[in-house]
Amino acid sequence: MNYKERFIKAVLATKELGLKVDKEPLPIEKALSKSKLQSIQLLCFEVLKFRGYSYSSDLAQKCIPVHLDLKHFLKLYLDVDSYITVGDRYWDDYVYCEMSYESIKDELANPGRGDLKAHVWLTLSDGTLLDCTAEAHADLIFGRPEYPIEQCIMLIKPTEVNDAKKGFHRPYLVGIDFLEKSGACRVDFSL
């Protein structure tokens, strides 16, 4: 199963759990152009730099605020729709922020316990995955050297085949509703 197929499944699961999806992400739009993807990557770098991030350690464990921020600026400056995506990263010998639908249901029934395990990234309107914090946190977990933020920006095509040796993202939910209900974040749109 490729990322696009997993993302569609996550959208449907979000709705089945009675959670709101901010804006309907289906059907997935046509592929973004190479120049648009380059503009997205450059904007991400500029926003991260402006926010004071310089190295991977600055981004580690900040997946929610970083991607909420990027979502806003992608729409504002490039008119690109993106969707907060909640899930984990899977390797054949390790799972980062391991999730399951059972753990999601448990968190919804007992929110705010402080033990939420989830990773957050963006899925662009064409199904491309944008993640600026996963590799940054992996640098810390696996004792790798620090990298500048531009090397932390991941853009993965929606049709890329999942490879458990290299690791891949497993989306479970789409939208901020779960994050708000679990107490992981509060988004105020009244500003």
Residue of 38, 117, 122 whose CA lies nearest to 72: 122
Q: How far apart are CA 107 and CA 170, in angstroms?
A: 18
**pTM of the model as a whole:** 0.93
Element (H, E) at 82: strand 82-91
pLDDT at 13: 97
Count of other CB atoms within 10 angstroms of residue 4: 18
**Residue corresponding to tokens 């004792």:** 143
Tokens, residue 111: 């929110």
Is the predicted pLDDT of residue 185 greater than 90, yes or no? no
Angle at 136 between CA 134 and CA 137, to 5 degrees: 70
pLDDT digits (tens, 9 = 90+) for 161-170: 888 888 899 9
Average pLDDT over residues 118-143: 90
Q: What is the mean pLDDT of residues 87-103?
A: 92
3-state DSSP assignment of residue 105 = helix
Distance CA 10, CA 100 (A): 12
pLDDT at 91 over 50: yes
Write out pLDDT tens, residues 14-70: 999 999 998 899 999 999 999 999 999 999 999 999 999 999 999 988 999 999 999
Q: What is the CA radius of gyration of the chain?
A: 16
Other CB atoms within 10 A of residue 176 CB: 23
Compute the distance between CA of residue 59 and CA of residue 149 in angstroms, rounded to an integer.
8
